[in-house]
Amino acid sequence: MSAPIRKKRIAILISGRGSNMVSLIEAARAPDYPAEIVLVLSNRPDAAGLVRAREAGIPASAIDHKAFPDRARFDAALQAELEAAGVELIVLAGFMRILTDAFVEAWAGRMINIHPSLLPLFKGTHTHERALEAGVRLHGCTVHYVVPELDAGPIVAQAAVPVLPGDDADTLSARVIVQEHRLYPAALALIAGGGAVLDGGRVRFTAQERDAGAAILSL
């Protein structure tokens, strides 16, 4: 019998519906998945994702940012919860709160995010509208490490979708989110399992993972 793998302890931070969170929770049910979701936190008490996490048996709580006088004190409360749960890696999934540089630096190399565009294009919000305005033929999503500059950290994995004639922001975002739900669990597995490593501000893959093309999801 092979030894059980040591799973990385993950916290997912959300602000809303949590569909990416659900895809990660489902992927992490596999016995050979290299990460376990130990905690879900939301800065919004009304986030629908909190209910979905609890239904899946994951401890989930809200730390309402409105209850704190400034970002630093909100981040300190977050940090206390993460430490108490022995979290090793933070996964942002629709977390809509800017974190302080100090918090981001404390978690450097241990915090990832998913962004709904092919970075470095369309950082920030309203990515689908902006992709349509720009007339790009390909759009998609990116998993990246978090650095203090917004949506600028080292890229782990990307998935592309076509932009089709007649698309509006809703049809395009619906096409992208399907890929987000595939990409994020794959990217987290790469990181937690050691298949992707940070190396001088870029993400490098082990030979095995590179051969498998694990970081690119095709059209």
Give the interface with ligand GRF as residue ranges (CB under 6 A): 14, 16-21, 49, 93-94, 114-116, 141, 177, 180
Give the Cα-Cα-Cα angle 3, 4, 9 (nearest 5 degrees): 145
* Active-site annotation holds for 65: no
Cβ proximity to ligand GRF: between 35 and 114 the closer is: 114
Give the Cα-Cα-Cα angle 212, 213, 214 (nearest 5 degrees): 85
What CA–CA distances, in Å, run from 199 to 69, 131, 145, 155? 37, 30, 12, 12
Catalytic residue among 115, 128, 139, 181: 115
Instruction: Quote the least distance from Cβ 69 to ligand GRF, whole Å.
Output: 26
Cβ proximity to ligand GRF: between 93 and 190 the closer is: 93
Cβ proximity to ligand GRF: between 64 and 70 the closer is: 64
Is the alpha carbon torsion for 122, 126, 128, 133 positive or negative? negative
Name the helix (H) or strand (E) containing 61. strand 60-62
Nearest residue relative to ligand GRF (C-beta): 94
Instruction: Quote the least distance from Cβ 207 to ligand GRF, whole Å.
Output: 30
Catalytic residue annotation: 115
